[in-house]
Amino acid sequence: MIKVLHFFKTYYPDTTGGIEQVIFQLCKGNQAFGVESQVLTLSPDPFPARLTIADHSVTRVKENFNVASTGFSLQAFKQFKQMAAEADLVHFHFPWPMMDLVHFATRHGRPTVLSYHSDIIKQRTLLKLYGPLMNRFLSSMDRILVASPNYLESSETLKPFADKTTVVPYGLDQSAYPTVSTQKQEQWRKRVPDKFFLFVGVLRYYKGLDSLLSALEGVDYPLVILGGGPLEQALKAQAEKLQLRNVLFLGRLDDEDKTCLLQMCYALVFPSHLRSEAFGISLLEASMCGKPMISCEIGTGTTFVNLHEETGLAVAPNAPLALREALRRLWDNPQQARNFGSNAKARFQKLFTAERMCAATTQVYRELLEPADVGDL
C-alpha cells in the first residue's frame, strides 16, 4: 500500500471548489490501485482537527491569517513534517506560496508530485516577489501533473519544466453523484422553464458572467445560475439594470439539486474569460450528463473538454456578441445541440473518468517510488 499525503490550503468540508473535488476523487479512487491517502489543509475553525471525509483522513490546522488568497499557518510546519515522515510520497497542489515555504523548511525528503492547477493570474505584483521561490519550488518537484495539453502548451511558467510534466486529465466518478428522486425532478420542473441554459460555479471575477448577462440583453434566453460567491450582488444588480426577466439566481445548492439541474438543462454555458479557469469541472459534469456546452477559448483545459464544433461551441473571451450568437445557434438548432451532447458524453467516457485519472496518477507514484521496476508495470 502506497501512503500519500495531499497538501493544499483548503479542502472539504470548509470549501468545495474544483481543486478540492480533484483531491477528493484522487483520495477516493486511488484506493482501488493500492494507495492510501491523507489530506492536510488549513481551516479558520479547525475543530475537530481530524475527521474522515468519505473514506480518507483529513487533518486541519489553524489558519492564522490570509493575504491575497494565500492562507498562512504556523502549526502547518510541524504538522506537515510529522505527516510527511509517515508517508511514502507527498502530493502538492499549486498554487499556494506557503506550501513552498513548508516544503523547503521541513526538509521532509520524500518523493514529490505536484498537481499544477493554474497559473497565478490575479496577483501579478506579488508574483514578481514570489517568482524566485516559485521557480525553485517547481524545480525541486520530482514530477508535475497538468490537466490538459492546452495548458501545458500555453503556460509560460510551466515551459521550463516540460520535461518532467505529465498530462493527466481530471476525471469524475459518475457513480458518486446522487440519484435524482422523482420528487426532486417535480420540484424543479415547477421552478425552471422547460428549456434553459445553465451556469454552475462560484461567482468569481474570472467566470465571465458579466459578459454572459450582457449577451442576454434584448434576447433574454432563460438562464439558471447555480452558485454563490463574491460577485453575486453585483451580478443581480446588472441583471436588473439590463431588465433581464429570465435569469434565475439559485445560490449554492446540494449535489442532488445540481445533478437534477444538469440533467434538465438544455445546455451548459461556461463563459470564464481568464486563465484562472484552468479546466472547468462544471464542463466535465455537463459532459457526463450528455449536454452541449458553450465556453471561451482562453488556451486552457476548457477547450480540451469542450471541443469547438464537436461537443459545443467555443467563442472569444469577454465578447458578449459572440456569446449571444453561440446561445442563438444552440437554441435554434436542437438537433445539433443533441449531437454535441452525445459527442460530449462519448468524450467523457473515453478521457475524463475518475478511474482513468486515478490509474494515471498512481502510475506516476509507482514510477517515482519504484524506478527500477518501471518496465515491469
211 and 158, same domain (yes or no): no
Q: How far apart are CA 309 and CA 315, in angstroms?
A: 11
> Does one domain contain both 52 and 135?
yes
Q: Is the same domain home to 62 and 197?
A: no
- The three-point CA angle 364-101-169 to 5° equals 30
Same structural domain, 33 and 118: yes
- pLDDT tens by residue, the chain, 377 residues: 999 999 999 999 998 888 999 999 999 999 999 999 999 999 999 999 999 999 999 999 999 999 877 899 999 999 999 999 999 999 999 999 999 999 999 999 999 999 999 998 776 667 788 889 999 999 999 999 999 999 999 999 999 999 999 999 999 999 989 999 999 999 999 999 999 999 999 999 999 999 999 999 999 899 999 999 999 999 999 999 999 999 999 999 999 999 999 999 999 999 999 988 999 999 999 999 999 999 999 999 999 999 999 999 999 999 999 999 999 999 999 999 999 999 999 999 999 999 999 999 999 999 999 864 444 44
- Those residues whose C-beta lies under 8 Å from the C-beta of residue 242, and which sit 6 or more positions away, are 213, 214, 216, 217
Rounded Cα distance, 364 and 143, in Å? 8
Helix (H), strand (E) at residue 267: strand 267-270
Q: What are phi and psi of 265, to 5 degrees?
A: -70, 160
The pLDDT assigned to 40 comes to 98
Q: Are residues 179 and 45 in the same domain?
A: no
| pLDDT value for 371 | 66
CATH number at residue 27: 3.40.50.2000
In this structure, the answer to whether residues 42 and 182 fall within a common structural domain is no
Same-domain status, 225 and 203: yes
Supply angle C-alpha 62, 251, 57, rounded to 5: 35
Report whether 279 contacts 148 (CB < 8 A): yes
User: Domain check: are 59 and 6 in the same one?
Assistant: yes
Range of the domain at 68: 2-173+353-376
Mark whether 205 and 344 lie in a shared domain: yes
Whether residues 213 and 319 share a domain: the answer is yes
Q: How many CB atoms lie within 10 A of CB 192?
A: 18
Q: Where are the alpha helices (DSSP H) in the chain?
A: 18-29, 75-85, 97-106, 124-140, 149-154, 182-189, 209-215, 232-241, 255-264, 281-288, 302-305, 320-332, 334-351, 354-369
Place of cell 434566453: 221
Q: Does the pTM exceed 0.85? A: yes
Q: Are residues 147 and 198 in the same domain?
A: no
pLDDT score at 149 = 96
Total of domains in the chain:
2
Shared domain for 179 and 163, answered yes or no, is no
Length in residues, the chain: 377
